[in-house]
Structure formats: C-alpha cells, structure tokens
Amino acid sequence: MFDKRFRDRLKLRQLEGLHRNPPVIEKRDGRFVTIRGQKVLSFASNDYLGLGSSHHLAAQVGKHFKAEGSSASSSRLVAGNYQTICRAEKIFADYFGYEDAIFFSSGFQANLAILSTLFEKGDTLIFDKHVHASCVKGISLSGASLKGYRHNNLGHLEKRLEAGILENKAVVTESLFSMDGDLLPVKRFGDLKKKYGFYGVVDEAHAFGVLGDKGRGIAHGVTDIALGTFGKALGLFGAFVLLPYGVKEYLMNFASPLIYTTSLPQAHALAAVDALELVEQGDNVRKTLKDVSASMGETLIREGFQVVGDAHIISVLMGDEKKATQVSQDLLSRGILAFSARFPTVPLGKAILRLGLTALHREEDIQTFVNALREVV
C-alpha cells in the first residue's frame, strides 16, 4: 500500500515537471563543481563571500576539531552547554548589535524552534507569503492565528495590522528573500513597527555577512529577533538567532527542536568566531560581490530577460515548470549549473532560475552564462 502511494506520487511529480533529481557533485573547486567528470561553472551556491571554499578557514576549522574533538556528545541542556559555545554566542550578539544569541544546528531548525515556541494560541502571526519553508512550518505549528500578506507589499501588511484588535501580534519576514532576491523596505517596515508595536522576526540568512556595515545585515533596529546561518556567507554550517535578553532562557526551557537534539560541538563555535573575523575584514570581497551581481542583473535585463533581484540573488522568470527544468538541464549540458526553483518553492506557474552570485565569480563568467542562456531559451 505504502509503496504504491510513493510510486504514484513520484510519477505525478514527474508528469507535472516538479520531480527533484539533483545532480551528484563529485568535487567543488571555488566557483566550479565537477558533475559526471565534467567541470561546471556554478551559479547555484550560497557561498557568497567564498569562505566555504577558503583554504585558510578550512585549516582553522580542522585545527579546532583536532583540538576539541568532533562532537559535543550531548544535548545543550544535558552536558553540551560548553563555555566555548556561550562565549561565541556573546561575540555574535555583540557584533550584530543584539542583546543575546543562540546557536542551532541548521536554519530550518532555528526558524522551526523560535516560531513554534515563542508564539501560541491567542497570538496573531502576520507573514510575508514568500517567507522560507522553515518559517511556514514554524508558524503552522505555533497555534497562533495566521494572516499572510502579499509579498513585500507593506501597504497590504498595514491593512493586516489595521484589521481588528491585534494585541499579541508579530510580523515574520525576510530581509533579502531567498528566491525572489528582493530586499525588505526596511525604513517602511520600521515605521510600521513604531506605529503598530508588533513583535518583529526577520530572517537575515541571505543578508548577514554581505549586506549592511561590515556584513551586519539591514534589519537591526527594526526587528526584535533576527536569524542568520553559518552555511551561507560565513562558510560553515548551522545557524544563529539574535535575541533580546530573556528569550534565550525561554528557548532553553521550551523549544523542543533545541532541547532534544545534540549540540553543535565546541570546535564549531571556535570556527564560527574565526569566520566572523573574516567577515569583518571582508569589505573588498563584498565590493567585488556587489559589482559582479550588478553586472549579471544589468546584462540579463539588457538581453531581454525578466529579472528580479536587488543584490546577490537574482531570479530569472521562466514561468512554466517543465520549461524551467529543461532550461536548467540544457545549461548543464553546456557546463553551467543553475537551479530551477519550482512549486512549492515558488508559486505554481512562476518557476525561475535562481542564481546565487559569489565573490569568486568573474566578469567573463557573467557573459558565459548569459550567452548560454540566450542559446537555450
């Protein structure tokens, strides 16, 4: 019975052009990966500053794991609450300008924990309809009343805030949207927060390390909680959440995704501090990324493609799911890896090529990509 269900649903996914069958990456070398023995130029990475490919950071990570061991060997609340981790969390809180911080094993786990734990029945969660799947899962488990607003439409958000008496209300959004690549209108968001007094939760996973002064993101001062990941611009794995005082203790006592999982190891915390130091020193790298991202967007628009993206994430509209899949496959046959984002990652009929630019990309890579895309579309 179960086997038949699985087969039938997979078959339906294939017919709809929604089947996932990711390529096997044999090796990564900077902005290139190897697939089936072929060296491929990748625009599918979140390694925005190139730290995930940094031999220097890799050496530091190796040194820490050699010295401290490979595992925390316990949950945070039993015997995994190491001083090293607490110290690293304080460094992150201070750097990004928040009162406290806590580390998680992944961004998905972090969003799941904070949204399902901090909010409950009687609260109202108002969320951008394009927030990450981890946010959607977290708010759906919270028990709060849910109200979506049109993507990045803060006029619609204000209508949601005006409607009814919403005493315990919170707004969930992203600062740089992971698929669309557009930026939250931060000033307008802050004005609404002052006017309506909502509790803000902003996912800055794709902004931290890249945007704002020294990579500190763009939502500080307009949100109560901000989420970041180590697995993107910081070149590691795991996640961190920046918090007001008292919220860390609350999560320690009530967040099941934190309580019932093994802590990240001490070595990871030490490596995270090393990565943060590289981020702080990375103004030139951020400038390179900004320039190459602008060049990609401008070139695509000049060639007549429908493009969205305000920074280093650029989405090229394909529309039809099967077309997006075919274009991605055709690009791969030409030595280029570009991710086709389809439903349910993006709305049905709004499939895109989602491009992640990195500071490792060069101007000639942009022209190579655009020429290939022009050939296959």
What is the rounded CA–CA span in Å between residue 217 and residue 225?
12
Answer whether 70's CB lies under 8 Å from 265's CB: yes
Is 206 among the residues known to form the active site? yes
Q: Which of 123, 182, 203, 224 is catalytic?
A: 203
Which residues are CB-contacts of 272 (< 8 A; sequence separation ≥ 6)?
A: 88, 92, 103, 230, 234, 236, 238, 240
Query: Among residues 377, 368, 370, which one has the least CA distance to residue 41?
Result: 368
Q: Which of 68, 123, 174, 224 is catalytic?
A: 174
Q: Which of 19, 46, 158, 168 is catalytic?
A: 46
What is the rounded CA–CA span in Å between residue 211 and residue 365?
23
Answer whether 311's CB lies under 8 Å from 303's CB: no
Is 174 among the residues known to form the active site? yes
Is 64 among the residues known to form the active site? no
Burial 255-283 (b: 16+ CB within 10 A, else e): bebbbebebbbbbbbbbbbbbbebbeebe
Is 46 among the residues known to form the active site? yes
Which amino acid, residue 285? V
Q: Which of 169, 232, 350, 361 is catalytic?
A: 232
Q: Which of 64, 132, 268, 312 is catalytic?
A: 132
Q: Which of 64, 169, 206, 361 is catalytic?
A: 206
CA-only gyration radius of the chain, Å? 21
Is 158 among the residues known to form the active site? no
Is 156 among the residues known to form the active site? no
Q: Which of 42, 53, 116, 178 is catalytic?
A: 178
Active site residues: 46, 132, 174, 178, 203, 206, 232
